[in-house]
Chains A and B, each alone.
Chain A
Amino acid sequence: MSGVDGLLLSPLLILATGLGAAFLLGLLHPRQSGVAYGLTLVALAWMAWIPARWLWAFVLQGAAPVEILTAGTPPPFAINLRFGLPEAALTLLVNLTGLLSAIHLKDVLLNQGRRAMAVLLVAVMALGGIILTRDMFNLFVFLELAVISTAGLVLLSDTHRPGLALGAGFKYLVVSQFISVFLLVGIIFAYHATGTLNIDGMAEAGLANVAALAFFLMFIAVVSELKPFPANGWALDIYESAPPAFSALFSAATGAAVLYAADKLLLIGGDAWLPMATAIGIVTFIAANLLALPQTHDRRLLGYSSVAQTGLVLMVLGQRDILGEATPFIAFGLLVSHAVAKAGLYWLSGLVQERRLTDWAALGRRPLLVFAFATFMAMLTGLPPFPGFYAKWELVHHLAGADRLVLLALVLLGALIEAGYLFRWFGYLLKREAPGGETAPCTPHKLVPVLAALAAGWALAWLWGDLFGRVNLLLALPLLFALAFLLLDWLPAWIKNTLAIAGLVAYFIMTWGEYDPMRLIFAIIFLIGGALTLLASYHAHGRRIGFYPAAMLMYAGMVMLIQATSAFEFFAAWELLTVGSYFLILRGKASEPHALSYILFSLGGAFLILAGFAIAAAAVPRLDLAATGALQLDLASLAQVAAPAAPWVFLLLAIGFMTKTAAIGVHIWLPGAHAEAETDVSPMVSGILLKAGLYGLMVLLLAMGKQQLHGVELTHALLWVAALTALLGNLMAVFQEDAKRLLAYSSIGQMGYAMFGLALMNHLGWLMALVFVINHYIYKSMLFLAVGGVAKRTGTREMYRMGGLIRLMPLSFIAVLIGIIALSGVPPLSGFGGRWIFYNAIMDSETRLPIVVLFLAGPVAFLYLFRLIYTIFLGQLKDELRRVKEAPFWIVLPQMIYVALLLVFALVPGLALRQVDAYLDRFFPDGGLRWEGGQITSQYGYWDPIAIMIVVGVIFTTLFLWLLFVNRRAQMVKQFNIVFSAERPYRPETTHFAWNFFAPYRKALGFLTQPLATNFWGAVTDLLHTAGDLGRRLYDGNGQTYAFHLLAFVIIAFFIGMGA
């Protein structure tokens, strides 16, 4: 079959139906609004069905594109239209958006009557015309129709002040008058130069060479309709004041249609004009995102975001010279992501009554709508598994391949800024109080478009995965498992918890044979460890909406990470685990700002990783480009990255991974994120999630090893960073009052140790890092659970408000005691094993100075660990805490399991380490350990865990018994017995022995804990906001100013473009 037969499915009917229906509406009586509305919907549905049917034929039946003649005369003498795959896809997008917007606008349309419906129909029809036509002047006519109908639809505003929309419409008309003058002058001179108005004819005649100025005028006029920065003030006013359903159309459909028009013009212009499209696109992308940052009005913010996304697609079109055949995949990937998400968000904004971003909190209690918002947000920021993700991946790789690194950096920067304001907004939605506590009214016709966009988003995710051709993320079992929890969210939490645990364990059993010993350790921690941590979640009651999809998304990402063999799979998994953990962290009561800083650092890190992979892929020497598929990079082939790029790749990837392990400088997100998370989430994100970063570093170091950059050995630099991280992390932990923050800072320090071990690049260093991986998982999960349990019972996390809880919460006490013994690395527990290997490892190393720094960190750890047990469990019981009970069963149970695990691991570390030790021989043949019975020997000495346990046990028992004996006559003093003291202190906290406990040390070492990193990143954020605020002053609201902008834009573009 070569096409779709039948008059009723002729693509021309897309236009004819729209027009005919619009004219027909005039025959109806003004009061027959219902009939008119029905007719409108039927017409729009038919207009959407035609391209849908054709799309089917093009994709699945291999139909050829059709040329449609009008007037029975061939082009260029009559106007012709073309209908192929891109046209079908775009008209489907436009007409569906139109249909759904018409549904969304039901109230307004019925109220305003048939005239409004006619304008809507013509608007949709005109956009179809822009897409289909191959005639330049015809394009102008359809553009004008689109402009005029836009000016009309703006007026359907549902705001309380319709005058605003009126002003916006007028400004739009003013600017569009200038645009059409340029377009017309350009067209007529282009006609004069080539003797044709046909677009393909102009391209053939080489218009851009014969009459460059005429082409420039046409091009710049069409580009101006894309709202380029700074000539776009008018568009933002429209976005702000128009009804949301229209803004959806304007953003998604008009944007798509005009982009296609710009693409046609680039066809005429040829390669010489691509740089201008690129420049305009990228400047708009960056500037609009920057300007969006300080916005507080939701629809205006979405407007800026629309402008930015359109700019990005224009930039992609401008990169056609290097993107080649990948252009449609990338451009459409970005375009449909933008269109569906933006339309969805605009429709969603119809469900919010007030217009500040914080007012979206009204949606926060509706899981379905939150899910929709999250989906749209993920689509816009290019997160997996949505089309934008695949597109971003391809785009960045092509840019790196062509050495366009500045452009690459700008794309990622803009995307990060965009993620910044979108995720901030999501935080408002979930965590702010809805005004008056009321939720928005939710009529079906306002809900249907949102849900349709949601469904479309996921369908497109599948489609793009399929088109991508290598890995369809939506077919990955772990991800599907996580997504299944979205459908099961109505179940009670305990059932979902059981399912989640079963899933994790089952997946481990299914796959454990696949891992090498190193990966096996991570698999055990991620899957079995994850299941263990989830035991604590049995404590939660009710349905706990949103918890399981997020948690399982994180676990899915982590397990996909260790299963990944290619850079693409690795990166996709990395983003999945990042997003999942973000949603998890955001669940904490006061975690909104911390979750935001977490996701931004993580995405920033992820973008560095992406850039690193892309540059690596470009630098891997390849014998046959075509055969291997230019962009598929195996993780293993990182080792082959050639010289000049290699250290840079290493640097980018290392910094990327270190944002996840919270190395010093990029650590500021961690304390808040881990401390404010829910009780059972803290162990997940601390004990388990941090290991993902370490895993990344391991993969990187194994593949790329030692790299030199300007004579600096990068692993040596890493050593320094690690040592400083350990020292400063510990030091900052010392001065915390909040028990969970203390533990969080302690994690920073601990990760410093692990990184140090890796950076040593010798056998024992790596073994030590793996010991840290295991240990840190166990004791940090345990400590977070214990402290979380205490905090739950006492209602505070401030340690000085606790005290004397040893009798009331003995089990928690035991957990903390065991935990800090293990953490501090004193015998007999497993921490000591880590230390022992560590000391052996540094004997092997020749770098001394960072080692000194690291040694300093050791005693500092004692300071905060001591405080943890002393201030919480020892000392005097507070009055208000007399009735505190032991932590809930489900929170204590995992702690006790961890205690047992720690003891086992302390006694027989060989269980876990022996295989790894042997495995590491492959990479570091020298300096392995010998394992004989219970005894472990290195070249410097030996370690017998069981013997140590016995010795320490004997000493401890002896001392303890002696203490009991000595104190047998001691008199117990009751708490309020003031015989031995003077008077009641005036301000308890200032004299309390636990508050500002280490004040003397602060005097001595406080300068080291100056929040330099916090101040730095704060300054960066402020700078961006200030830049955004300054930029906003350009848009003073005066239509004439906007006309100035447009003229200035045209002239500057001319001089820059013609100069280049």
Chain B
Amino acid sequence: MVKRFIALVLVLAVGGLFAVLLATYAPDAELNQTARYYAQRTAQDLGAANIVTAIIVTYRGLDTLGEVTVLFLAATIVGLVLSQGGQSGTPARGRVPVGELLTTGSRYLAPLILLLGVYVFVNGHLTPGGGFQGGAIIASGTLLLLLADPLRRFGHRLIAAVESVAGVVYVLIGLLGLILAGGFLDNRILPTGALGALFSAGAIPLIYVLIGLKVGAEVSSMLVSLAETDAETREEA
């Protein structure tokens, strides 16, 4: 009870800080200097139609590389944490098998989901969406398969290989920017092309494809690790 009261007091105090922020907040009428630069220069400099994508992949590409690394780390550590507990056990028995409908349905759906994911990240520089969104969609395909058949085992090697190759190539492309263009992760190592075309915006689509693959692989790997451990944990229980 005391604990809740203190928690309430603390949270209200933090709320007080936030209230000050809210009360003094005045929305901008015009874009600030940074945003204006992006609005005016993105198209001519980088050739990307989706300004947000240009920011993510190029202007703030280092953040994004870090972001990908966060997922990479999380997936790696999840694997590490979960593998520490014990060896991958034998599949749990005695479960109610999932229905035919679900199994078959998911088998049809999975490739479509994969395709959608690819579409989303390939068009990231033109339309809403991009590597992360596409990657997440791909991973949702994995999730569907896992939900439909919890005992299904995925090839860790394949996932790891996709992840690694995508990551290494991403870093190399970044370094190419250092050599061929204006700096690390500069997308203008490839021609920027015509605004709005699929093959435009320099290396942005390429990077987004890599990100999409990498994110998809990473999130899938996390899901797979969690699922496998979950199976073991149940077994031990």
Q: Hey, which bits of chain A sit against chain B, CB under 8 A?
A: 7, 10, 12-13, 16, 19-20, 22-27, 68-73, 76-79, 112, 115-116, 118-119, 122, 126, 129, 133, 135, 137-138, 141-142, 144-145, 148-149, 151-152, 155, 162, 166, 185, 189, 192, 195-197, 211, 213-214, 217, 1044, 1047-1048, 1050-1051, 1054
Contacts and interface: CB of A to CB of B under 8 A. Distances in A.
B131 to A, nearest CB: 15
Nearest to B188: A72
Nearest to B38: A77
B16 to A, nearest CB: 9
Contact of A19 (B37, B60, B167): B167
Contact of B171 (A16, A77, A116, A149): A16
B181 A1044 contact: no
Interface string B186-214: 11100000000000000000000000000
Nearest to B165: A27
B165 to A, nearest CB: 7
Contact of B63 (A141, A211, A1047, A1054): A141
B81 interface: yes
A189 B170 CA distance: 32
A137 B60 contact: yes
A382 to B, nearest CB: 37
Contacts of B163: 23, 26
Nearest to A178: B14
Contact of A155 (B34, B77, B174, B179): B77
A152 B76 contact: yes
A26 B167 contact: yes
A923 B10 CA distance: 68
A144 B77 CA distance: 14
B73 A195 contact: no
B237 interface: no
Contacts of A211: 24
Given A26-B160, A71-B61, A1050-B14, A19 B179 contact: no
A70 B168 contact: no
B184 interface: yes
The 10 closest A-B pairs by CB, nearest first: A72-B182, A195-B32, A23-B167, A26-B164, A152-B77, A72-B186, A141-B66, A20-B171, A1047-B10, A69-B183
Nearest to B27: A192
Given A79-B62, A122-B72, A195-B35, 17 more contacts: A7-B178, A12-B178, A23-B170, A24-B167, A26-B160, A70-B186, A72-B186, A73-B183, A78-B183, A126-B69, A129-B62, A145-B70, A152-B76, A152-B77, A152-B80, A152-B81, A1047-B10
Contacts of A213: 17, 20-21, 24
A147 to B, nearest CB: 10
B161 interface: yes
Contact of B77 (A27, A119, A1044): A119
A464 to B, nearest CB: 34
Contacts of A1050: 14
A141 B21 CA distance: 23
Contact of B33 (A115, A126, A144, A196): A196
Contacts of A68: 183-184
B6 to A, nearest CB: 7
Contact of B7 (A24, A166, A1044): A1044
Nearest to A10: B178
30 contacts: A7-B179, A10-B178, A12-B184, A20-B167, A20-B172, A22-B72, A23-B171, A24-B164, A24-B167, A27-B168, A70-B177, A73-B58, A76-B33, A78-B59, A78-B60, A79-B60, A79-B63, A115-B76, A119-B73, A119-B77, A135-B62, A138-B60, A144-B70, A145-B70, A152-B77, A152-B80, A155-B80, A197-B34, A213-B24, A1048-B10
Contacts of A76: 33-34
Contact of B80 (A26, A116, A196): A116
Contacts of B166: 23
Nearest to B186: A72
Query: Which of B10, B34, B62 has the most chain A CB atoms inside 10 A of its CB?
Result: B62
Contacts of A1048: 10
Contacts of B34: 76-77, 195-197
Contacts of A126: 66, 69
B126 to A, nearest CB: 19
B71 to A, nearest CB: 10
A196 B36 CA distance: 11
B110 interface: no
B74 interface: yes
Contacts of A12: 175, 178, 184
Contacts, number: 192
B33 A195 contact: yes
B98 interface: no
Interface residues of B, number: 66
A81 to B, nearest CB: 8
A20 B172 CA distance: 8
B91 to A, nearest CB: 21
Interface string B55-99: 000111111011101101110110111011000000000000000
A69 B21 contact: no
A69 B13 CA distance: 41
Contacts of A20: 167-168, 171-172
A71 B177 CA distance: 7
B120 interface: no
Given A115-B79, A1044-B7, A19 B63 contact: no
Query: Which of A7, A73, A151, A155 has the most chain B CB atoms inside 10 A of its CB?
Result: A73
Nearest to B179: A7
Contacts of B188: 72
A1047 B37 contact: no
A259 B153 CA distance: 45
Contact of B164 (A27, A189, A192): A27
B21 to A, nearest CB: 6
Contact of B21 (A78, A185, A195): A185
A459 B122 CA distance: 54
B236 interface: no
A115 B81 CA distance: 10
Given A19-B167, A27-B164, A148-B73, A71 B183 contact: yes
A7 B179 CA distance: 8
Contacts of B10: 1044, 1047-1048, 1051
Query: Which of A20, A25, A196 has the most chain B CB atoms inside 10 A of its CB?
Result: A20
Nearest to B12: A1051
Contacts of A195: 32-35
A72 B73 contact: no
B184 A70 contact: yes
A1044 B17 contact: no
A12 B171 CA distance: 11
Contacts of B41: 77
Contacts of B161: 26-27
A192 B32 CA distance: 8
Contacts of B175: 7, 12-13, 16
A189 B21 contact: yes
A116 B73 CA distance: 10
B80 A148 contact: no
B108 interface: no
Given A68-B183, A152-B80, A1051-B14, A122 B69 contact: yes
Given A118-B76, A138-B66, A71 B58 contact: yes
Nearest to B77: A152
B230 interface: no
A404 B81 CA distance: 50
A269 B98 CA distance: 60
Given A26-B167, A141-B66, A145-B66, A155 B183 contact: no
Contact of A137 (B6, B63, B74, B183): B63
A151 B6 CA distance: 28
B69 A145 contact: yes
A22 B80 CA distance: 15
A129 B67 CA distance: 13
B185 A71 contact: yes
